[in-house]
A and B are shown apart, each in its own frame.
Chain A
Amino acid sequence: MLSSKVMKKYTIYIFLLLCLMGTACKKYLDQNPKDALASGDFWQKKSDFDQALAAAYSSLQAAEFAVELPVWDCFTDNGYAQHNSGSAKEIVSGSISSTTGGYIPQLYKDAYAGIARINIFLMQLAKYTGPDFPDADKKKYEAEARFLRAYFYFQLYNIYGDVPVVLEPLSLETQNQAKVAAPDVLKQVLADADFAIANLNAAPYYQNGGHACVSSAQALKARTLIFAAYGSNGTPDAALLTQVRDLTQQIQAQYKLSANFEDVFRDASQKGNTEIIFSINFLAPNNTAPWDMYYGDWLVASPLQNFVNDFECTDGLPYGTSPLTNPAAPFENRDPRLKKTVFVDHPDFGGGKIHTPSNSRPTGYGVMKFLVPENIPYGFSTLSQQNAVVFRLGEILLMYAEAQNELSGPDATVYKAMTDLRARVSMPPYPVGLTKDQMRQRIRHERRIELAFEGLRYFDLRRWHTASTVLNAVKDGINPYHYEDKFYHWPLPQPEIDKSGGVLVQNPEYK
């Protein structure tokens, strides 16, 4: 039995020891995440910039820019979105306000998220002085980043009009940015696109390893200009269209139409495809997008009857007028693109490759264009890796024809462009002797057919200022269609107006 004095001594020592243990372990209060990098450790070598560039490209994978491109066509006379994707119902029926959900706030958020990533990349790129990154390469990386930024600002310009232009990374202190007038946003898009054209690789996209190249930037510039060319009332601007014509001529030199129409949209034939000028890439199993599940199983987009009727018969005459019209077998003797774009009730690729969709077919039709027969059955586990095609030669030919027709009427080059495009699917050329107005109608019709469900129809109708006429006349939509002129620009999302403390002002038409 220890004496209490000895006990006291030992216990005091033990107590002090425990205290020391506690304070010595103070460094366990310094904890850092184990699966992420402190920003001080990054941007130290060229491979860091490769990773950052990959992340910048991946911001294009946001649904509304990639796998949901067909949903944009459901805002038009082409289709119906039965799950109200992107708030299609509100947009189609005219309930567009600053508090509408769907793409109106989503696109704003995703575009600026991409822009922020690019601005941080560019800032770090400018600061980097390591020897493993020669200036010539740095210029290329800068050009790629600016091409991406041009694409995002193009989207914002096209949809909202006046938006803030941000070229530096922002912080909490600088977060309230005022918007800039639409023409200045356009200037920024063109400035970035021009820099990209001047500094990217000259090789065509199919030989450039999936990185943006000069022709990609030219295609972006051409689309931007042709979208801006019709001004605020549909009258084309000759100066802009001349630039479009020239750009599209340059692009055509490097590309060839894909032999098969469907090869452009199926992953197995997209690598090295001579028609694709820029695409947003996906790769199974870890970087996929649900193309097959959305369009083959869920029928996220359903083509409308009037769209199906708009396909010509194999003789080049409209369905209904042509003697080949056969209501009992409406898909026989039609423009081959009909069967490649639309399926009736369920996708059937022949040879037993059939899939029964789990969701209903509200219009009786579904979108076939982006489906891959090898992935049947379509469901949650389907790993679709189709790339989202952004620019392709088909669109370039149509842009060329449209621009040249407006500038000098339907000359031989216009006819040739359209003949080549139609010959790919064995459709006959246009009859000779068309007037400028007739050719314009033909070209606009061809755009609708060729580029169906690639996300361009909505913008076509808006830029030609025919949206009110066309959309308000739609009779076979599931939702009632109502289009007003103010919808040429969407409102800025209300939460953004609220958060900016009065700095960001709403589009006056939506006050």
Chain B
Amino acid sequence: MALLTICLLHFSTVIQAQSITVQGKITGGGNPLPGAVVRVQGGTTGATTDAGGLYKLNVSGDATLIFSMFGYKSQTVPVGGRTVIDMSLEVDPKSLEEVVVVGYGTQKKVNLTGAVATVNGAELLKRPITNPSAMLQGTMPGVQVVQGTGEPGNENAYIRIRGNGTFSGAGVDPLVLIDGVEGKLSDLNPNNIQNVSVLKDAASASIYGARAANGVILVTTKQGVEGKMRVQYDFNYGIYKPTKLFDLITNSAEYMELFNEARINSGLNSGLYTQEMIDAYKNATDRNLYPNTDWLSLIFQTAPVQTHNLGFSGGRNGTVYDASIGYVNQDGIMKGFNYKKYNARLNISSKVNDRIRFGANIALKYGHREAPVFGSEDMFLSAMAQAPTYGPYLSDGSGHYTYKAYDLEYNNKNPVALLDGKINHNTDDYAVMAQGWVEVGLLKNLTWYTKAAVNANFDKYHDFRPPLQLYNFRTNQFMATLDLGGGLEVQDQQNIYTNLYSYLSYDRTFGAHNFKLQGGYSAEQSTYQYLKASRKQFSTDKLTELDAGSPAIQYANGTQNAWGLLSFFGRFDYNYKEKYLFEANMRYDGSSKLTPGSRWGVFPSFSAGWRLTEEEFIKDLDLGWLNNFKLRGSWGKLGNQNIGNYPYQSILNFTGNYSFDDASLTSGAAQLNLANPAIKWETTTITDVGLDMTLIQGLNVTADWYKKRTTDILRPSQVTGVVGLNAPTINDGTMDNTGVELGISYNHLIKDGALKGLNYTIGGNFEHYKNKLVRYGQRDINSSSYRIRDEGLEYDAYYTLDWIGIFQSADEVKNSPKQFGDDTQPGDLKYRDVNGDGVINNDDRTYIKGNYPNINYSFNLALQYKGFDFSAMAQGVEGTKFFVSEWGTIPFVQGAPPTTDWRNRWTPEHPSTTMPRIYWGWGAPEKIRRASSYYLQDASYFRLKNLTIGYTIPANITSRIGIDNVRVYFSGDNLLTATKYRGLDPERAGSGNFVQYPQNKIYSFGLNVKF
């Protein structure tokens, strides 16, 4: 009997297992959905809908189909023998079904107990820029991104997650993992990014233990989806301009008169322009001989930038792939700068059988960067430090480069000579990122995942500096040789990083209890090596290889260093009915950088969450408007092992060579540093309390409060000068960052009425944090003399004299406290007597807040309606100040002309309450040059960061020529800015020189074509 039953069952399954063709139309919101996916549950067959929303596939009659599309709620229906199955999908409020990438795995967003922010790749691509780090700006609360400059390939973009965690050399950069392996965002092609998860608190990040103190950024690249091959081509052409440049005095006669006034005010009574010189320029008719040169216009240009990307993805029979090639060619708005980037990637994964999947991600990148030899800041200040009295070339048509028009003038290098001569420092960098992984289903609930990866970076520098002859503009005679160091220097460096990690995952449900357990290990090693060689004497400028130079003067340097990290990690997840959530993580790391005795560190974390909306009593209330409400909290410890490679060994350096006999050099060896064998990890402890809620099916709110405390900060100990050696690194220092974050977004699809079909999303992110130096040791007033490190203040807080106005009269000077030993005159800066002792001196320096921003915020808006899409992002920073000085602030530094606002300076005839007397550059007296809040500028800003308008040509038109989808768009970046900052752009890497490579304002148009 049993045998018969088995046979019958067998037959029935055979009958029902016959293959049939199922087809239908998938719609969403009444419109056909192209690109939706129909999959057989538990099988490998699948199809995607075409432009008309139609699909067709062969399945067995008893199969179950899953219909899904990103942004819509999935539907699962059995075929039940039907041959036509139409499906209407509902827009998914996203928050409830979304799965988030976390450390070593994924997690449903509603069950997260840690603070994780996410953004998907499409969002990042709205910005028509080329630097992937900068694309993260304004997308997530708690993630502060600053792009230092607009220089191609060298934007100096940095990311800070929840403030500045430490002041040590360990650094404050977050750990960036690309598909689970450490990598650089700048090596990526942004079109390859599927999504980015940022792990902000200890609960989410502690599984990365010793490297996670500053947060972790997980980038997942696109893996491909089954279906026929989809080809996508993206093109963007952008016009880049500077967001702002300043106006300099370019009229020679005016320059000369101000030059003389400034010199006389500074007590420099010699080296003035004579009245004849000034009159010659005032009355000249030949503007070739007597020019009013605008040097800045000679080095800036409108720059074109193009980006191309071609991608292929698809797959069948269990193998999926995503391949792409990309090309970027970016010229700089400052002449002489160019960056070309080539990317290629192949992500492939395959199901061997029911249990085993394996795959490989291979990416290649080549970047070529050309830049003038001393960099962008030097180029800018060289162009500023020129008088308008002469042009870059002599007026006699010989093509010779000008040095000066008059001997008494001061200047810096002729920038046009540097550009023409292509006196460059060129960089070629190659990167190979290869990963292979295997996932094995050992038992029903036990999976084993292993990944091995190699990242290799090869950089080559090429730096050639021939001398240039410079001539006198007035006399056309040879005047000087521009000597930049001479000769050729080449450098090859490579960094090879390998990582092998492997973990087991076990998840099981017992009734209402869900458990997940993970455990694994990871081994990493990184080796860095460089080789540098130079020769100084070349007989011709045309041959720029080492062998073409004379071996009479040659140098060679090179070294290698390495570090290794071995770790064990584990995670335990538990939830009860997805209502009470609990998670614990732990990582045990050993680093080669610390002594064997203190090499290992434990980094645990615990977090818990409570979803009120899953409670029966809330469900009973049937609050339709409250879809999800979760409270969560976490606590944990993270480490930072990013210190120098060999901080604990007591070593002797090869230094102090000396020639006793004036004929040969005896090599020297001496100890330079005191060593400390007792170094251990820097530890960051983070406590986080947050809530996530979804209201009215479309409004998502996330809010967090956190406190980050970094202890045992690695720093050079303060050592007195009598020791005569450099201080050893010790663990001594504590820094706190406390803050709040808020993210709000609302998404709605209008389902009826005049605007039916309009889908809009609006949102905003806010973050505020406070940085405090809790323990530092002796108060340290930095040698640049405008910062202080003192316990209780923010780190490196501004500490200067407080400028309160301009003296208007000699009486006012007499009746005010005496300022230093100055010869104070009307028109000079007036400082505040902070300590009230009747005298202004260094004791009147005071703390001024502004080294860290008060609030970082951004707003975004996206609309889609009938093929049109519109999005705007505005971003702002409030409360930052920068101390900016030298060229562009005090006039005539190295002869640089003043900015036009110096026409409103204080003079006895036209007194001013806002601008002082004009003084002369580095010859100016101390009373104007000393550090005060006069140089501290408010850099708060609010800007329309991005505006994109696009139109997707109706599918029925494009499908006639075999193209699924064509979208044309306009995208602009940094379009409008509101700020009080008087300089170039309020977004900059930090305090320092007033001049730096400007930020880019971009107008671009582009094309997305899907075949």
Determine whether the beta carbon of A29 is less than 8 Å from that of B665. no
Answer yes or no: A233 CB below 8 A from chain B CBs.
no
Contact B270 A170 (CB under 8 A): no
Contact present for B645 and A54 (CB under 8 Å): no
Q: Which B residues from 678 to 736 make CB contacts under 8 A with A? A: 717-725, 728, 730
Question: Do A171 and B674 touch (CB < 8 A)?
Answer: yes
Q: Which of B480, B561, B596 contacts A33 (CB 8 A)?
A: B561
Complex-state Cα separation, A255 to B858, whole angstroms: 79
The stretch of A44-52, A195-203, A318-326, A448-456 that contacts the partner chain: A44-52
Residue B599 at the A interface, CB < 8 A?
A: yes
* A137 interface contact, C-beta 8 A: no
One of B407, B504, B717 near A172 (C-beta < 8 A): B717
The answer to whether B724 touches A31 (Cβ under 8 A) is: no
Q: If the complex has contacts A25-B523, A95-B821, A170-B724, are A11 and B440 also in contact, measured as CB distance less than 8 A?
A: yes
Name, among B355, B523, B667, B724, the residue most crowded by chain A CB atoms within 10 Å (CB to CB). Answer: B724
> A55 contacts which of B355, B599, B656, B661 (Cβ < 8 Å)?
B656
A94 interfacial by beta-carbon distance below 8 Å: yes
**In the complex, A225 Cα to B437 Cα: how many Å?**
78
Residue interface mask A265-307, B partner, CB < 8 A = 1: 0010011000000000111111100000000000000000000
> Which of B66-74, B220-228, B647-655 binds A?
B647-655
CA separation between A45 and B267, bound complex, in Å? 61
Interface residues of A, CB < 8 Å — how many? 106
Knowing A28-B592, A31-B563, A170-B724, say if A209 contacts B660 (CB, 8 Å).
yes
Contact B523 A22 (CB under 8 A): yes
User: Binding site of B, secondary structure by majority: helix, strand, loop or mixed?
Assistant: loop
Contacts known (A42-B652, A176-B720, A358-B480); A286 close to B665, Cβ less than 8 A: yes
Q: A281-B659, A499-B778 are in contact. Are A381 and B485 (CB under 8 A)?
A: yes
Specify which chain A residues have a CB less than 8 angstroms from the CB of B665 in the assembled complex: 283, 286-287
CB distance from B271 to the nearest CB of A (A): 7
* Alpha-carbon distance A166/B926, docked complex (angstroms): 37
Q: Please state if A58 and B657 are interface contacts (CB–CB under 8 Å).
A: yes
**Which residues from chain B contact A83 at a C-beta distance below 8 Å?**
922
A34 partner residues in chain B, CB cutoff 8 A: 559-561
Task: Write the B109-120 contact mask toward A (1 if CB under 8 angstroms, else 0).
Answer: 000000000000
Chain B: CB-nearest residue to A23: B566
Closest to A113 in B: B724
Give min CB distance, B410 to chain A, whole Å.
6
Contacts of B780 in A (CB 8 A): 495, 498
Whether A500 pairs with B410 at a CB distance below 8 angstroms is no
Evaluate contact between A99 and B657: CB separation under 8 angstroms: no
Task: Verify B483–A500 contact, CB threshold 8 A.
Answer: no
- Given A31-B564, A37-B669, A500-B720, do A287 and B662 touch, yes or no (CB 8 Å)? no
From residue A172, how far is it (CB to closest CB) to chain B in Å? 6
Indicate if the CB atoms of B653 and A36 lie closer than 8 Å: yes
In the bound complex, residues from chain B placing their C-beta under 8 Å from that of A360 are 271, 407-408, 410
Q: Given A209-B660, A210-B662, A362-B270, do A116 and B669 touch, yes or no (CB 8 Å)?
A: no
* Closest B residue by C-beta to A358: B480
Q: How far is the CA of A480 from the CA of B724 in the complex (A)?
A: 36
Task: Looking at the assembled complex, report how far the CB atom of B643 sits from the nearest CB atom of chain A, in whole angstroms.
Answer: 13
Q: How far is the CA of A116 from the CA of B555 in the complex (A)?
A: 30
Indicate with 1 or 0, residue by residue over A475-497, a CB within 8 angstroms of chain B CB atoms.
00011101000000000010110
Alpha-carbon gap, A363 to B651, bound state (A)? 49
Which residues of chain A are within 8 angstroms of B487 by Cβ–Cβ distance? Answer: 381
Query: Which residues of chain B come closer than 8 Å to A287, judged between CB atoms?
Result: 657-659, 665
- A108 CA to B485 CA in the complex, in Å? 31
Q: Which of A12, A32, A52, A499 contacts B649 (CB 8 A)?
A: A32
B657 touches A33 (CB 8 A): no
Could you tell me the distance between the alpha carbons of A94 and B670 in the complex, rounded to whole angstroms? 38
**Shortest Cβ gap from B758 to chain A (Å):** 53
Candidate in A30, A58, A108 with the most chain B CB atoms within 10 angstroms: A58
Contact between B480 and A356, CB atoms less than 8 A apart: yes
Q: Judge whether B659 and A28 touch: CB under 8 Å.
A: no
A74 to B483, CA, bound (A): 27
A8, CB-defined interface residue at 8 Å: yes
A380 to B374 Cα, complex, angstroms = 14
Question: Residue on B with the closest CB to A39?
Answer: B650
Does A177 touch B at the CB level, under 8 Å?
yes
In the docked arrangement, what's the CA distance between A61 and B842, Å? 33
Expressed in whole angstroms, the Cα–Cα distance for A504 and B720 within the complex equals: 10
Given contacts A36-B651, A37-B652, A175-B719, contact A381 B566 (CB under 8 A): no
- Asked if B443 CB lies within 8 Å of chain A CBs, one says yes
Contact B722 A281 (CB under 8 A): no
* B96 contacts chain A at the CB level, 8 A cutoff: no
Measured between alpha carbons, how far is A362 from B783 in the docked complex, in Å? 29
Closest CB of chain B to A423's CB: distance in Å? 28
Do B561 and A380 touch (CB < 8 A)?
no
**Which residues of A lie under 8 Å from residue B814 when comparing CB positions?**
none
B728/A172 in contact, CB under 8 A: yes
Whether B666 sits at the interface, judged by CB under 8 Å, is yes
Chain A neighbourhood of B821, CB < 8 A: 93-95, 482
Closest to B481 in A: A377
Question: What's the minimum C-beta distance from A177 to chain B, rounded to whole angstroms?
Answer: 5
Q: Is the CB of A496 within 8 A of B720?
A: yes
Task: List residues of chain B with CB within 8 A of the CB of A482.
Answer: 821
Given contacts A30-B592, A55-B668, contact A11 B448 (CB under 8 A): yes
Q: Are A498 and B659 in contact (CB under 8 A)?
A: no
Q: Contacts A55-B656, A94-B821, A283-B665; is A22 near B722 (CB within 8 Å)?
A: no
A18 touches B500 (CB 8 A): yes
List residues of chain A with CB within 8 A of the CB of B593: 31
Q: Is B590 an interface residue when CB atoms closer than 8 A count as contact? A: yes
CB pair B722 A175 closer than 8 Å: yes
Q: List 24 A-B contacts (CB under 8 A).
A: A22-B523, A26-B566, A28-B566, A28-B592, A29-B565, A32-B646, A35-B560, A36-B653, A38-B652, A39-B652, A93-B821, A97-B842, A177-B720, A282-B659, A287-B659, A360-B410, A377-B483, A381-B467, A381-B483, A381-B536, A385-B662, A478-B268, A480-B267, A495-B780
Nearest 8 A/B pairs, CB to CB: A116-B724, A379-B483, A55-B656, A210-B660, A55-B668, A381-B486, A283-B659, A55-B670
Contacts from B to A (Cβ < 8 Å): 267-268, 270-271, 353, 355, 407-408, 410, 440, 442-443, 448, 450, 467, 479-481, 483-487, 500, 502, 504, 521, 523, 525, 536, 553, 555, 559-566, 590-593, 596, 599, 645-646, 649-671, 674, 676, 717-725, 728, 730, 778-781, 783, 785, 820-821, 842, 922, 926
Interface residues of A (CB under 8 A from B): 1, 4, 7-8, 11-12, 15, 18-19, 21-23, 25-26, 28-40, 42, 48, 50-52, 54-59, 61, 83-84, 89-90, 93-95, 97, 99, 101, 105, 108-109, 112-117, 119-120, 164, 166, 170-172, 175-177, 209-211, 267, 270-271, 281-287, 356-358, 360, 362, 377, 379-383, 385, 387, 478-480, 482, 493, 495-496, 498-501, 504
Known: A209-B660, A377-B481. 18 other contacts (CB 8 A): A23-B566, A29-B590, A29-B591, A31-B562, A36-B654, A39-B652, A52-B670, A54-B660, A89-B926, A93-B821, A117-B670, A166-B722, A271-B663, A281-B662, A283-B659, A286-B657, A358-B480, A493-B721
